[in-house]
Structure 1
């Protein structure tokens, strides 16, 4: 049987911390399991709350997963992969669809085993439940606001002001910020009217 090709992902939040312990433990696990480590991806001094675009090694890990460079990702703990549930769920979905297994040392999750796969699927169920709860709370909040007579969405501006801004946009010369300041509106309002003008 061919040895599983494994990628190690290591991360610490501050420059004062070291990934040495994470690496040592994961290398020992790989040796016991007979996994072949093909690459070590390390983000040192990078917060887990940051997105993929601000974590170069994590970004490279996912690109290499898509290229099928390895069969398994091993990390010290689930919080090494991400601090935000949204980022984490996105990551789990992505590796799952690529058919890449996942080993999380601290949580004892190993999707190369049937029990680990089941646990992994349960995490997906909980994540979906969390998303549904958030949607429900948002809808309930909007309905409550409507029932109290609150206006939702962006505040509208009166027709005279909109006409004056449109005229200023037609004549050109002044920048968006200058027009917004002159008419006491936000730049996004001027941008919206400009878009409407272009589309007309």
Structure 2
């Protein structure tokens, strides 16, 4: 399947420019777009809360997702990188026309995947450091740290994603990579796998 994804932020913008770019590109490559996905939504909204989320879930090996530019996937760099990494794990391809990227199973994509991984690791370290500093400050001010007893919600960031996690585990994808794909910490994934018994010990 070949998907074309078009996103505009407001109803005052038009999808026609993006559609034209994709049609021109697909014509030059002699490929046919099987499904067009259009939506008017801010790129700050999480991909899973957009039509894009279903497309990313449906993507299979050798499927292609075409966008006029990478910013259509999201405005947050880490989310865009996570989406691209997710596509590479699935062995599907992403074509970004403006940047001239054709990301798939090739050496340039693997280099980018390494860059994504490194950037995600740096981001996690920064978040960890900020968290430690905040907790140290709260402790020094005598403020309570952590959730009150019995306040843990049954809903988590991974609720409803058991099937995706099982599929990735079956493909021998590491827990850290699953965390990056789903936008959560590795420890969150490990805890979810353990409590839901998604993997045999």
Tell me the TM-score normalised to structure 1 length: 0.62
Distance 1:121 1:109, change over 3 A: farther
Q: Counterparts of 1:136 and 1:107 in 2: how far apart (Å)?
A: 33
- Indicate which of 34, 37, 56 corresponds to 1:62: 56
CA contact (8 A) 2:9 2:43 kept: yes
Secondary structure of 1:37's aligned partner: coil
Higher relative helix content: 1
The residue aligned with 2:35 is: 39
- Indicate which of 56, 78, 101 corresponds to 2:70: 78
> Which deviations, in whole Å up to 9, do the C-alpha atoms of 1:134-182 show, x marking residues without a partner?
1122113323443x243232697xxxxxxxxxxxxxxxxxxxxxxxxxx
Distance 1:154 1:62, change over 3 A: closer
Structure with higher Rg: it is: 1
The residue aligned with 1:100 is: 92
The residue aligned with 2:131 is: 138
Give yes or no for the alignment of 1:26 onto 2:22.
yes
For structure 1, list consecutive stretches of 5 or more residues without a partner in the other structure: 157-188, 193-200
Q: Counterparts of 1:62 and 1:16 in 2: how far apart (Å)?
A: 26
Give yes or no for the alignment of 1:6 onto 2:21.
no
Q: Counterparts of 1:115 and 1:53 in 2: how far apart (Å)?
A: 27
Pairing 1:158-169 to 2, within 5 Å after superposition? none
Distance 1:93 1:14, change over 3 A: same
CA contact (8 A) 2:48 2:54 kept: no
Pairing 1:148-187 to 2, within 5 Å after superposition? 148-153=140-145
Distance 1:124 1:9, change over 3 A: farther
Tell me the TM-score normalised to structure 2 length: 0.62
For structure 2, list consecutive stretches of 5 or more residues without a partner in the other structure: 152-201
State how many pairs are aligned: 150
Root mean square deviation of aligned Cα:
2.7
